[in-house]
Chain A
Amino acid sequence: MNCDLEICNPVEPFLRSERMPHIWCPGCGIGTTVNCFARALVESGLDLDRVVVVSGIGCTGRVAGYMALDSFHTTHGRAIPFATGLKLANPELTVVVYSGDGDLFAIGGNHIIHAARRNIDLKVVCVNNLIYAMTGGQTAPTTPIGALTTTTPYGCFEPSFNLPALMDSAGASYVARWTAYHVRQLTRSMKEILTKKGFSFIEVLSPCPTLYQRKNKLGDGLDAMKLYKEKSKTRHGTSTLEVPLTSEGEIVVGKFVDRERPDYLDLMRGRLTEQLGERYVEMEHPVCQ
């Protein structure tokens, strides 16, 4: 794709334009986050041949397929362990996991807490639309109490996860939350995690007008933007225990955690070098040609 024309979208070179139109609904926030991600890539200065996007299954799981990068659309919930193997086999890659709340925290919940614990150098973007959208609007571990979904026709009564607190307590090096309204802040956070070492996590609240909002009479995509604008409070560095999402309360956004921890490969190399000395051999890349 070239951008020689006078009018050109600067993110176009990052998209597989031959795959457009995409599957996302009007008013959906996923495309907005992809736009932010593309801008973050531009600003990061990274060699794009070495940036890989790994997605699971779901609406956000389709992100990998639209990015003009090496990309893997894996199985439901398993983007994180796939990305773990990829990163360990070739540590020179910048591995981004881009997936949804159901994929990462329901079916993939076990994997994400262990990746955070290990501090594997993965950059995780979780688009949280509060519902299973691809399958038609079922309840998720992020669905607020009282919300209507196709599998909670009398309102959701299960408590939901506070994703930043979960990632913080599991050991993530970087934890932030933004909404699809906060495009500049989100872009900045994405740029930060692209060069941050260790397990990094960004939750992005995103509208789902077709399912979540329609079921709950919450208007369209623009109404969601207004809600995000009105209810969001930026509190950098606040305790992640104080940022749960509630149906009525404010949406606390910001960068909550940014700490230095040795990542998995540092720990592995350190221990093995200490124990084995010169007998320790690094893996060659690529191992087989």
Chain B
Amino acid sequence: MRADPKGVLTGIHFLDGDHAACEGALAAGARFAAGYPITPSTEIVERFSARIPTVGGVFIQMEDELAASIAILGAVWGGAKAFTVTSGPGFSLMMEHIGFAAMTETPCVFMNVQRGGPSTGLPTLPAQADMMQARWGSHGDYAIIALCPNSPQECFDLAIRSFNLAEQYRVPVMLMMDECVGHMTEKVVIPPAGEIDIYPRRHTTKPPAEYKPYASDGDLVPEMVHAGEGYRFHITGLTHDERGYPSLTVGTQDRLVKRLSRKIAAAADRLACYEEDRVEDADVIVVSYGITSRVAQRAVEMAQNRGIKVGRCRLITVWPFPETRIRALAARARAFVVPELNLGQISLEVERSAAGRARTILVPHAGGGVHRPEDILDAILEATR
């Protein structure tokens, strides 16, 4: 289906990434947001609170991130598309409901504008150090999807994609921004509503007597209903059977938890989204994401000017990790260089996927700024030796 024009601010704009992400959410059909103020993400809900009353929806500022992250789940079961927005310390508090959303298969979007950590860290300065937390932060086995924009335009585009994937797979989707992308201002083109594809909610067509909330019926993703529609259904964070009833047995746990992981694992290659340049004959490939990809591009150009065969692969989907693609690249290139604003997170995934066929060289940065292109260049030079 196409986007509801009420939420689409069609035109050419000059927006920062936070504001663009908000417009993406509105264009995707989000009509409910709950948030708690935290730098550098707050602009997203500030804009939403100003825009939503004329679009038709609700913003509520909750008492903390625990509340914000479950208020959106209540709103989803009430029939809305909903999201919340935060940064490091708030993201830590939201882990509880990322797990609850994964377990109850509640489609929702968490936007994390990453800042330096741990703890209060660097409230106004960038990092990319929540990448593993996005994947593994809540307890137990589950799977999520995470996307990394590197421009305000992509904050808009990937916000829409986040909502669509959330609905398609019934998982929490993380839009993993960073302070630089969130606060940089660039041209953002918002297309007409008729050009924006929207994945509709997987609402059942079955009557209540035939409907089971977690019957996957061959498809790994079950169909949904909303409260108030006469289905008298039950939703729980406990291990549950197809009826949604608690069933605390080894067998039920095995079927449920494996399906929760498999529905994403089985789609990993379809979900893989990346942007590549000159990887075909590259000796060295720089793998990066978010703001770091823009610094890496400079380093790659510097290396190319020195005659080095270096390509770049920018990850747009970070979770599920596009391991099939990295494995294929590892068969050709001698080494990967992975700059990231942390002390080594996604580089571990690159190394795992390469499985020894190509070296992986991390270019770490503790956060608070971005890499110097020269530091990435040094790593590229090291990779050629």
Chain B positions within 8 Å of A71 at CB level: 233-235
A81 at the interface (CB under 8 A from B): yes
Known A70-B232, A89-B31, A283-B57; 6 more pairs at CB < 8 Å: A52-B228, A73-B236, A83-B74, A88-B60, A283-B32, A289-B200
B81 near A288 (CB under 8 angstroms)? yes
A75 near B234 (CB under 8 angstroms)? no
A285 near B66 (CB under 8 angstroms)? no
Residues of B participating in the A interface, judged by any CB pair closer than 8 Å? 6, 29, 31-32, 34, 53-58, 60, 62-64, 66-68, 70-82, 96-97, 100, 200-201, 203, 226-238, 245-246
Determine which of A75, A84, A111, A287 lies in contact with B237 in the assembled complex, contact meaning CB atoms within 8 Å: A75
| C-alpha gap A88/B69 in the complex (Å) | 15
B97 near A78 (CB under 8 angstroms)? yes
| C-alpha gap A261/B245 in the complex (Å) | 38
Which residues of A62-109 are within 8 A (CB) of B? 64-65, 68-75, 77-78, 80-90, 92-93
| C-alpha gap A288/B81 in the complex (Å) | 7
User: Which B-chain residue is minimally distant from A84 (CB atoms)?
Assistant: B71
A73 near B226 (CB under 8 angstroms)? no
B54 near A73 (CB under 8 angstroms)? no
Q: Determine, out of A190-198, A212-220, A242-250, A272-280, the stretch whose residues face the partner at the interface.
A: A272-280
What's the least CB distance linking B91 to chain A, in Å?
16
What's the least CB distance linking A89 to chain B, in Å?
3
DSSP class of A's interface residues: helix, strand, loop or mixed? mixed
Chain B positions within 8 Å of A92 at CB level: 228
A85 near B201 (CB under 8 angstroms)? no
Chain A positions within 8 Å of B31 at CB level: 89, 283-284, 287
| C-alpha gap A288/B31 in the complex (Å) | 9
DSSP class of B's interface residues: helix, strand, loop or mixed? mixed
A276 near B63 (CB under 8 angstroms)? no
Chain A positions within 8 Å of B96 at CB level: 75, 78
A280 near B53 (CB under 8 angstroms)? yes
Which residues of A260-280 are within 8 A (CB) of B? 268, 272, 276, 279-280
A-B residue pairs in contact (CB < 8 Å), sample of 11? A72-B74, A72-B236, A75-B237, A81-B34, A84-B71, A86-B75, A90-B79, A110-B63, A284-B56, A288-B81, A289-B200
Determine which of A65, A78, A287 lies in contact with B234 in the assembled complex, contact meaning CB atoms within 8 Å: A65
Question: Given A16-B234, A283-B31, A288-B201: A70 and B80 within 8 A (CB)?
Answer: no
Question: Given A82-B70, A281-B53, A287-B31: A72 and B77 within 8 A (CB)?
Answer: yes
A73 near B234 (CB under 8 angstroms)? yes
What's the least CB distance linking B268 to chain A, in Å?
26
Question: Given A81-B67, A276-B53: A87 and B78 within 8 A (CB)?
Answer: yes
A49 at the interface (CB under 8 A from B): yes
Question: Given A70-B231, A90-B226, A276-B53: A283 and B58 within 8 A (CB)?
Answer: yes
A86 near B63 (CB under 8 angstroms)? no
A4 at the interface (CB under 8 A from B): no
